[in-house]
Structures are given as structure tokens and as C-alpha cells.
Structure 1
Amino acid sequence: MKQLMTIPSEFYQNRKLIWTLAKNDFRTKYAGSYLGIIWAFVQPVVTVMVYWFVFGVVRQGAPKAVPFVLWLVCGLVPWFFFQEALVQSTNALIEYSYLVKKVVFKISILPLIKVIASLFVHIFFVAFTLVLFCCYGYFPDLYVIQLLYYSFCAFALVLSMAYITSAVVVFFRDLTHLITILLQIGIWMTPIMWDFTDMGISESALAARILKLNPMYYIVSGYRNALIDKQWFWEHPGMTLYFWALTVILFVFGTRLFQKLKVHFADVL
């Protein structure tokens, strides 16, 4: 238990440093370009427009409870955060190799810094989503509070995975390319642009149960439950228990792996 609490305690002890480095990381990422941090928002918006045109205009699926663009954004916003945070945090140790080589620096906070930096953009897009819903006449209610919960779910999941990927990529650099490929597959394996009705699959079917093992299914569905279906997360106890059990297992495994390998990071980098 003492080993498991090492990294969370380092988070608390270095909370001010983490916040400062996360803000600096977000700013410097787009330093030197004319539009600066605006680029952080342009690409996701363009992606939403492309998917909306292809799946909402050209190829229309089964009717939704709300306009398709609202249904689509609810799935894309958490995925954008997950994708950006995982890719950035995976390369955290490599990017900050000069800090890894400093004996006194707590390198365990580096993946967290990247995840928090990605969270800044996510907060903007959650606000953008709420404004978009209002423009269509769907105003926030009490269920919207759950966006905080599901955002935390995404944060916890990606951070847990980041400790695994950031530790392994130091020794196996090809992991970065592998993650990119898996994310390209993952966006289609997660019901973001489609749902089981579009696929003609019953939610009780074996194929649907297999697809629900994807932890991002819980988060994407949660955003839609909060904004569209008006359901509370405790109305899905089985999925909630599964998600948090998997996230805790990933965090425990990831932090232990990170602690075991970190003595070799400076030598390899």
C-alpha cells in the first residue's frame, strides 16, 4: 500500500509545480506560430465538421433524439481529450529528458503534466458543446453536472494508461507509432460516429457486449446520457463498476511498472 501511494503523494507535494509546468507546456506547444494556441482548437473543430458532413448529411443513420451534430459532438469531445492526452503523455519522458536526468526531480509528475495540459483544451470543448446545445434549444439541466464526473473518468483512465506507455516507450520507441494506429482503430470501435441501432445490433448481443469492454464506451455513453438521454451514472451500476475496476487495475499496474523502470530512464535517454 505504501508503494501504491508513492505517486499520489508526489502529486500532492508537487501540486504547484505540476500546475505551473502544465500551463507552460500548453503555451509552448504552439509558440512561434502566428495563431498560437488557436491551433489547439482549429483541428478538432474541422474534424467535427468533416464527420458531421459525412455521417450527418451524406450518409444518415438511424434517427437520433437530437440533431446529429449534437449527438456526434458528445462522442468526439471526450475522444479528442483521450487521444491527445495519451499521445502527449506517452512521450512525456522523452520530451522532458533533461528533467529525467536530474536526480532531484520527481519524474513521476511528467505524464500528469501532459494530461493536465490536454485538459485545458477539453474544458473549452465541453463549454463549446454546451453552447452548441443551447443554440439548438437544448438548455443545461441538473444532468449536465455529470460532465464533471465523466471528464474525471477520462482523466483517470488516460493517466493510468500513460504510466504504462510513457515507461515502455523509453525502451521501445516504436510504441508511439503503434499507439497512433490503435487510436485510429479505436475511434471506429467506439460508438462515436455510429450506434448499435445503425449497425443493426441489439445491445444484448455478443458483439455489443464485446464492444462495451472498451472503457471509452462508458465515457462516450456517459456524455450522451448527461446531455441527451438524461440518465444518471448510477443507473448503469455494472458498467460503472467495470470501468473503475479496470481503471484501478491499470493505475496500479502502471505506477508499479513506472517505479520499477524509472531507475533506468536516465541511462537509456
Structure 2
Amino acid sequence: MIKDIITNKKLIAKLAKNDFKQKFAGSTLGVIWAFVQPVITVLVYWIVFDKALNQGTQGTKAGIDAPFVLWLSAGIVPWFYFSEVLSAGTVVLHEYNYLVKKVVFPINVLPIVKAVSSLFVHGFFVLFTLVVYLLYGYGISPYILQVVYYSVAMMALVIGLIYLTSALCVFFKDMAQLINIFLQVGIWATPIMWNFDTMMEKIPTWLQILLQLNPMYYITSGYRDSFISQTAFWNRPYLTIYFWALTIVLFILGTHVFRKLQSQFADVL
């Protein structure tokens, strides 16, 4: 599977570029919408949690060494990418069913196309967040380079997931709806709009461990380590080992299921 991905890297790049443009084809502003929507979402969350509900969110903001909008942005940037790729990647085989039915087309690259396509917006959003930090007077430190590491880690995680979900979705179309529900719950199960550190005293130990087993906890914490606390990823050795062990298992499982079911995709679609 990895060999096929490397062999078809030019095809993946071309399809990803076309996929990104196709999302907004026909609209007046075109691809500008891809960048406007995440920014508006952050502004809405910021206004609600930091302004409209200011008194009610003091517990969340306690202990944060940065303005709330910066803390929120650092956590929600990776979630936008993860949720977009998982949602779109789950239905990728249905979307590109005309390619799946071509005998000579390497359909195992299609999940990768969605992961690469969403990198355009993710890259912009990282730069946008960095500009906001600069405007708030925060300098650029070498730790910001860790964003590249955490982005690659998140991409590896979600690719393994969408190999699995996209293959299952061919035979079980409700998978797409289940993923949407999972993402709605996941954004609150991940410490994005609430501070895990301040909640530790209020929740039992078993729940703390359960929340930390969420692989996106590692990613969102890593982005905040890069932007705010300037902590190296090797200072979280146990979480790093756990994350990569889980990611490797999911990738092996996802690609195995995909290859086993691949021969039946064209008949079902």
C-alpha cells in the first residue's frame, strides 16, 4: 500500500488539487470560502466563550498563560483538519465511484487524496494563527516547527482511519452518519474549548485516563505546546509512544480491511 502511494504521488497531487477546487466550483468567491469558513467559526467560538459567556468560562480560562482566542485557535486548528478529512474521506469511494469502476485505476490512493486536499486549508490556518499570535505580541520560537511534526502525526492517524471507514462505508452507508455523530461528540471529548488541566481536580482518575487515550488529545496538546507553552514533544514520552502505537495499529487495520474488500467495491458501487 505504501509503495503504491509513493509510486502514484504525482497522481495524488493532481487529484488533490482538483478535489480542492471542485469543492467550491460554481460559487462566486470560489476557494476563498475554504479559508473564510474556519476563520468565521473561530470568531464565533471566541465571541461566545470569551465575550458573551465571559463570567461562565472563567474556570476554563484559569491557568491559561495566553489570551483565550490564541489558546482556542491552537486547539481548534488541528480539529478542523481531522474532522474535514475523516468526514470527506469516509465517503470518498462513493464520490469517486466512476474511478473505482475503472479496472486500471489505483483506487487505494483515493483516501490519500482527501488527506492531501485538506492540507491547503490547514496550512493557511496554521499561518493565520501564527499571524494572530504575532499581532498579540508573541514571538516566534523554534518550538513552532513542531507543528510540522504534529501535522504529519495527525495525517498518519486520520489516513489509517479513512482507509477503514471508506471501505466499510461502501457496504454500510450509515457509516457516514455515524462518523458525523462521532465528530460532534469528539469535539467536546477533546480538550479544545475546555481546559483539561483545570478539570483534572473535578473529574475522577479513570475519566482523566480515558480522555487522554483520545489520540486527538495528544495532537491538540501538541499544537498548544508548540504555540504557547513551548514544550518539546519528547517531554511527553508515554503519550508519544501510545499515540504512534495506536496510529500504526489503525493504519495496518485500515489498509488490511481496504485491501480485503477492494475487489468488491466496483460491484457494489
**Band the TM-score falls in, shorter-chain normalisation:** over 0.9
Q: Which residue does 1:246 correspond to in 2?
A: 246
Q: Which residue does 2:46 correspond to in 1?
A: 52
Identity of aligned residues (%): 54
Q: Which residue does 1:227 correspond to in 2?
A: 227
- Pairs within 5 Å for 1:94-113: 94-113=94-113
What is the CA–CA distance in structure 1 between the aligned matches of 2:256 and 2:238, rounded to whole Å?
27
Q: Which residue does 2:265 correspond to in 1?
A: 265
Residue pair 1:196, 1:203 contacting (<8 A) in 2 also: no
Q: Which residue does 2:178 correspond to in 1?
A: 178
What is the CA–CA distance in structure 2 between the aligned matches of 1:83 and 1:95, rounded to whole Å?
17
Q: Which residue does 2:120 correspond to in 1?
A: 120
Match of 1:39 among 8, 27, 33: 33
What is the CA–CA distance in structure 2 between the aligned matches of 1:206 and 1:195, rounded to whole Å?
17
Residue pair 1:62, 1:197 contacting (<8 A) in 2 also: no
Instruction: Give 1:43 deviation, angstroms.
Output: 1.7
- Is 1:146 equivalent to 2:146 in the alignment? yes
What is the CA–CA distance in structure 1 between the aligned matches of 2:255 and 2:22, rounded to whole Å?
28
Residue pair 2:115, 2:159 contacting (<8 A) in 1 also: yes
Instruction: Give 1:38 deviation, angstroms.
Output: 1.1
Deviations 1:82-113 (A, max 9, x none): 00011111111100001001111100000000
- Is 1:62 equivalent to 2:61 in the alignment? yes
Q: Which residue does 1:4 correspond to in 2?
A: none
What is the CA–CA distance in structure 2 between the aligned matches of 1:200 and 1:241, rounded to whole Å?
22
Instruction: From the superposition, tell whether residues 149 and 45 of structure 1 become closer, same or farther in structure 2 (CA, over 3 Å).
Output: same
State the AA in 2 paired with 1:102: K
State the AA in 2 paired with 1:41: F
Instruction: Give 1:62 deviation, angstroms.
Output: 3.2
Residue pair 2:200, 2:208 contacting (<8 A) in 1 also: no
Instruction: Give 1:51 deviation, angstroms.
Output: 1.1
Q: TM-score, with normalisation over the residues of structure 2?
A: 0.95
Which moved further from structure 2: 202-211 or 127-136?
202-211
Secondary structure of the corresponding residue to residue 36 of structure 1: coil
Instruction: Give 1:202 deviation, angstroms.
Output: 6.6
State the AA in 2 paired with 1:117: S
Structure 2 unaligned segments of length 5 or more: list them.
Answer: none
Structure 1 unaligned segments of length 5 or more: list them.
Answer: 1-6
Alignment root-mean-square deviation, CA: 1.3
Q: TM-score, with normalisation over the residues of structure 1?
A: 0.95
Secondary structure of the corresponding residue to residue 201 of structure 2: coil
Q: Which residue does 1:3 correspond to in 2?
A: none
- Pairs within 5 Å for 1:153-168: 153-168=153-168
Residue pair 1:75, 1:192 contacting (<8 A) in 2 also: yes
What is the CA–CA distance in structure 2 between the aligned matches of 1:114 and 1:165, rounded to whole Å?
13
What is the CA–CA distance in structure 1 between the aligned matches of 2:38 and 2:234, rounded to whole Å?
30
What is the CA–CA distance in structure 2 between the aligned matches of 1:73 and 1:175, rounded to whole Å?
29
Match of 2:16 among 19, 22, 40: 22
Instruction: Give 1:224 deviation, angstroms.
Output: 0.4
- Pairs within 5 Å for 1:81-96: 81-96=81-96
What is the CA–CA distance in structure 2 between the aligned matches of 1:204 and 1:171, rounded to whole Å?
40
What is the CA–CA distance in structure 2 between the aligned matches of 1:19 and 1:178, rounded to whole Å?
29
Residue pair 2:61, 2:68 contacting (<8 A) in 1 also: no
What is the CA–CA distance in structure 1 between the aligned matches of 2:263 and 2:201, rounded to whole Å?
49
What is the CA–CA distance in structure 1 between the aligned matches of 2:171 and 2:251, rounded to whole Å?
20
